Structure 1
Amino acid sequence: MSDRLWYVAYGSNLLRERFFVYLTGAEDGSEFGPHPPAPSSTAVDAERWLWIDHALYFAGVSRRWTGASAFVSLTIDPAEPSLAHAYLIDSVQLAHVASVENVVDSVDTSAAESLPIGEWTTLDIDRRGEAYRGKYDALLRLQDIDGQPAFTLTSSIAREHGEPSSKYLSTIRRGLLSAKIDMDVDAYLDAATGRITSTHRGSSSGA
């Protein structure tokens, strides 16, 4: 597999400046809080807005956002697509994004190299006995974009439905509006907020 791949975001990382904090790092007092920089300084080669056939929902509790986090179902459902923002990055940056999302020092994402389109694998996360770690433990391969592999992160289990904080929704809304796509953003977020995902029927190569 090429070292270049698409990371497909659907939550707060829809907002370009939010996602770039994962790569460049940020200090205390920044809008999105402190973040370690990615080991690779490779520039994002391209960006793309697209719809993915995986329903957006909110569940669990985020320490950063003090409310439920955004996830997409592992089940393919063309009837409930999610708007996503894809960034063309390298494999080192993908591993870094996975570690930050899971609040751990490192995550091995090398399984991406052999993951077939439409399948997912459970990442090996050292949770250290803390429930807030490892929420984004499923690496899902989506349809290729321009001939390059595409991936997103979500949960390997169906988590308890929850309400996202107003700050979190505001950041997601900013991201959606930046897409300049003709859609009712509030209706889209209302539907996702009320959606409960109880099962994951996708296939896993690691679960």
Structure 2
Amino acid sequence: MTAHVWYAAYGSNLSPQRFDCYVSGGRPEGARRTYTGCRDTSRPSGCRPIRLPGLVFFGAESTAWGGGMAFYDPDGEGPSLATAYRLTAEQFADVWFQERRLPVGGALPLPEALAAGEWVGGGGLYDRVLVDGAIEEEPVLTITFPATLQVQQQPPSPAYAATIERGLIATHGLSRAEAAAYIAGLISGRTSCR
């Protein structure tokens, strides 16, 4: 099994500062939820901007932020901007458990996911692990909704959108206006990062 993976974050975790709450624990600015953090609180050993081939959209209702949450549709028309974090397999599992509001400490069947290109651990909103290529021969994984689930679209809250905007500025070097235009494009269904 691979010792490290790259987690491709396309929502609020585009922001390294916000993502640190998943690793170290804490409450992100503007959020209603405090995160426990990973068993291993070491910082990611890599962080870089990437593009995912599919579409990011907003939907459902976030209990942490209010408004819609970001979801990734690998079959949608992209590309979409993301931040890739190099994590241990254990840290990635802990991020997945926190996304699902479950205690950290479990393991994921990563060999199964890597062989099949995806793995679904339930019927919830962030239960699907997708393989989205590789960076330096280490797999790129992201978390999204199961293909069998329908997610009703809903725009994000201002705090959630602002966190995504900060991430786009920090990792992709976008101006504030460019980041706001990208998010507006996601909300309207017309991405603007071609």
Same fold (TM over 0.5): yes
2:111 is aligned, of 110, 113, 125, to: 113
CA distance in 2, matches of 1:186, 1:68: 16
Deviation string 1:146-203 (CA, Å, 9 cap, x unpaired) is: 111110000112300111101110110111011244573222111211229xxxxxxx
Deviation at 1:42, TM superposition (A): 3.4
Partner residue of 2:91? 93
Q: Is the Cα contact below 8 Å between 1:117 and 1:142 reproduced in 2? A: no
Aligned length: 184
Q: Is 1:162–2:154 an aligned residue pair?
A: yes
Matches within 5 A, 1:50-199: 50-75=50-75, 77=76, 79-106=77-104, 110-116=108-114, 119-124=117-122, 134-156=124-146, 157-181=149-173, 184-195=178-189
What is the Cα-based RMSD across aligned positions, in Å? 2.3
Deviation at 1:53, TM superposition (A): 0.2
CA distance in 1, matches of 2:158, 2:82: 20
- Normalized per residue, the structure richer in helix is 2
* Secondary structure at 1:37 match in 2: coil
**Which amino acid in structure 2 is aligned with residue 60 of structure 1?**
A
* Secondary structure at 1:61 match in 2: coil
Moved over 3 A (4+): 106-109, 180-183
Unaligned runs of 5+ in 2: none
Deviation at 1:107, TM superposition (A): 7.9
* Secondary structure at 1:150 match in 2: strand
Residues 153, 19 of structure 1: CA spacing in aligned structure 2 closer, same or farther, 3 A cutoff? Answer: same
Deviation at 1:101, TM superposition (A): 0.8
Q: Is the Cα contact below 8 Å between 1:117 and 1:141 reproduced in 2? A: no
CA distance in 2, matches of 1:24, 1:58: 26
CA distance in 2, matches of 1:47, 1:6: 9
Deviation string 1:89-130 (CA, Å, 9 cap, x unpaired) is: 1111111111111112258552222324782221137xxxxx
Percent identity at matched positions? Answer: 27
CA distance in 1, matches of 2:183, 2:43: 31
Q: Is the Cα contact below 8 Å between 1:56 and 1:82 reproduced in 2? A: yes
CA distance in 1, matches of 2:78, 2:162: 21
CA distance in 1, matches of 2:59, 2:120: 18
TM-score (norm 2): 0.85
Q: Is the Cα contact below 8 Å between 2:51 and 2:80 reproduced in 1? A: yes
